[in-house]
Structure formats: structure tokens, C-alpha cells
A = this chain, B = another copy of it.
């Protein structure tokens, strides 16, 4: 967390800052790691939701992206990203939207883990005269969703999809979310290796049954940055690595200096009895994601206007447009040290959630570059 352009002072707070130098370093780190591992990156754009950043993430890569909403698929397809994996299990009410995207030439791949959805997707595809490429979601660790990789479950499911007109079985996908529960890099690497071996074995099972399985898609930032092997994997999905955050820092896959975004805010008050500063960034600007830090529940760590960490301060309470900053030591905060009008930066606990609170990035690079604004979008449908 460093660097500042001279136009920072002209910004109204709260707003979201993005350090382009850190962003590019984070992206290069992931790309270099996967290059050595011999596997391409299919960046997940759900964290960043920004065309400019997706261009940086796909540089030197095949160009395919992962999305979490059809709004992302539509926006990125309009910006030229035509190979789009929608990595959330499909719902019936989204099939026409997906078919619209497919009809205009987007290679939109769907995720399906049950036969009812396969049947409905096939019906829409057939009626619309298209085919949906399909991945089957595999549950490798019981953390969320997907089918179990047991052959007696997986093979009938794959056969059902294979036999459904309008669907084209492309392979398997998983997300080893349990990497986030680990307390060591070694533990995360073990999750990654277990994810890999289960998925490679599941792919082998499908192929042995005479089914097509071109894709073996895995990933998450922690596992991608710690895996010892990608053998048999055809692509790695990850997204938060571009920004990093306090969750990734705690996992040990990055340091505080690797966090590319921060919320710029302003001291708007002091409350001596409660030993607190009041800043103009609440949960609307920061999100309600929290973590324990030195025994205290915090919503962010605090840096000065230039991004230099102020070790003893933390964001400890949030209202809609108010944030409360206190000393972790419990000591009081002198108003003379942080007068009203002082700019501070909040380092996010969870970059996906904090970024989701904003509609633009104020992009800066160390040195004298002028600040740019990169738009960011949210939502589930693109306003007509």
C-alpha cells in the first residue's frame, strides 16, 4: 500500500482507490506462477468487474474469463471477451438471457450439477437453435455445491448431459473453497493437491466411460498461489489475487504491501469519551466483512493518505455512512493528531465485497501519473 497522485486531494470521500503498480505486480505474479505450472489462467472477473482490469488479467493468456453473473457475461462480451464461463449453477429463469448471449456469438459455458437443469437448458437451447457448452460442478470438499465425484453419481449425470440435445459436455469444474479455512500455506497446498487429484481422477472416470472431458477447471486465489502441481488441470480460475485483501494476508498468500485497493475516507469527528475517530466511510463504502485482529473484530486496517499503514488503528464499527476508528491498544486518539479533514485509507478485509460497494476505481500509479477513472459495474441484468 503506497503511492499517491497529486489529484487525490480533489476527490470526494468515500471513494475507492486502485494502485495500478500493485495491481500489475499481483497479476504478473499469478501469471508467472501459472506459466511455470504450464496451465492457463481464466481470470475470475467477479472481484474487479472492470474491463480495463480484465484486459490486464488476460494479457498473455488465452483470453477466456470467468464470471459470476450474466450481467458480467453481457458487459464483458460487449467489450470483446467472447469466451465466458458462468461459474454459478444455472437457474431456469436465466436461460433466455444466456441464450440471448449465446445467439450473438458469445461462447458462454454453463455450469450444471443436476438433471432437471440439464433438461431445461437443453429445451431452451433446442428451441433457440443453439448449443450450450456445459461443465459439471464437482464437490471436492463439501464446502458448498456440486455433485460428488463418485462414479455412480458422476457418470449418470455426465451421460444425461451428453444425451441432451442442445447441450455439449465440455468437462468438469470445482472450487476448493475449503482453502479459506486453512491456517497454513502447507494446509492450502494440501487442499489444492486434493482438489487436483480428485478432479483428474473424475475426468479419467468420464473418459473411461466414453464421455468427453476436455476441460478440468479448478481454482481460487489461495490454492492457485500454493499448489505444487497443475498436472491434468486445463485451466485455473482466480480473481481476488488482482487486488488482495486482509483475508488473503491472513492466509499468508500476500502481504499488506500487496493490497491494491483501499477506501479513501476523511475524519469528520472525534469522540473523546469513546476514544474514537469518526470517518465518512460506513458499510456502504467498506462492506460489513470483518475479521478478528489481535482479538478485536475489525472491518479494515488504516493507512495514511499515502497508504502507509498506521499500525495501531483499525476500523472497529460501521454504520451506513459512518466508520469508527479506534486504537487496538485501547488508548485514546488525540484530535490534534488526526484533525477533522484528515485523509485516511481503509485496507479492506474482503476485496470482492469492498469493490462491490463502488461504481468506479480511481486509479493511480506511484509517481506523477494523473489519476484515471475506470468504471465498475454490478447487478444481475444490464439496464435496458
Contact B380 A114 (CB under 8 A): no
Given the known inter-chain contacts A68-B321, A120-B341, please indicate yes or no for A356 contacting B91, CB distance below 8 A: no
Given the known inter-chain contacts A89-B278, A93-B13, please indicate yes or no for A320 contacting B46, CB distance below 8 A: yes
Contact B280 A88 (CB under 8 A): yes
Interface string of A271-289 (1 = CB under 8 A from B): 1011000101001110111
Given the known inter-chain contacts A68-B320, A278-B145, A359-B379, please indicate yes or no for A89 contacting B269, CB distance below 8 A: yes
Q: A324 contacts the other chain (Cβ, under 8 Å)?
A: yes
Docked CA distance A284–B268 (Å)? 28
Given the known inter-chain contacts A278-B89, A322-B88, A356-B284, please indicate yes or no for A380 contacting B15, CB distance below 8 A: yes
Point out the residues of chain B lying under 8 angstroms from A380, CB to CB.
Answer: 12-15, 285
Q: A266 contacts the other chain (Cβ, under 8 Å)?
A: yes
Point out the residues of chain B lying under 8 angstroms from A284, CB to CB.
Answer: 356, 378
Docked CA distance A289–B383 (Å)? 27
Contact A324 B381 (CB under 8 A): no
Tell me, rounded to whole Å, the shortest Cβ–Cβ distance linking A41 to chain B.
Answer: 19
Residue in A177, A266, A268 whose Cβ sees the most chain B Cβ within 10 Å: A268
Q: A69 contacts the other chain (Cβ, under 8 Å)?
A: yes
Q: A156 contacts the other chain (Cβ, under 8 Å)?
A: no
Name the residue of chain B whose CB is nearest to the CB of A359.
B379
Tell me, rounded to whole Å, the shortest Cβ–Cβ distance linking A345 to chain B.
Answer: 14
Given the known inter-chain contacts A88-B268, A114-B270, A145-B269, please indicate yes or no for A46 contacting B321, CB distance below 8 A: yes
Interface string of A359-371 (1 = CB under 8 A from B): 1100000000000
Q: A35 contacts the other chain (Cβ, under 8 Å)?
A: no
Tell me, rounded to whole Å, the shortest Cβ–Cβ distance linking A152 to chain B.
Answer: 14
Docked CA distance A377–B363 (Å)? 23
Docked CA distance A113–B270 (Å)? 9
Docked CA distance A16–B51 (Å)? 26
Given A91-B341, A114-B270, A145-B322: 17 more A-B contacts, CB < 8 Å: A12-B97, A12-B381, A13-B91, A13-B380, A46-B320, A68-B320, A88-B321, A89-B269, A90-B268, A92-B340, A93-B341, A117-B268, A117-B340, A145-B268, A145-B271, A283-B353, A288-B289
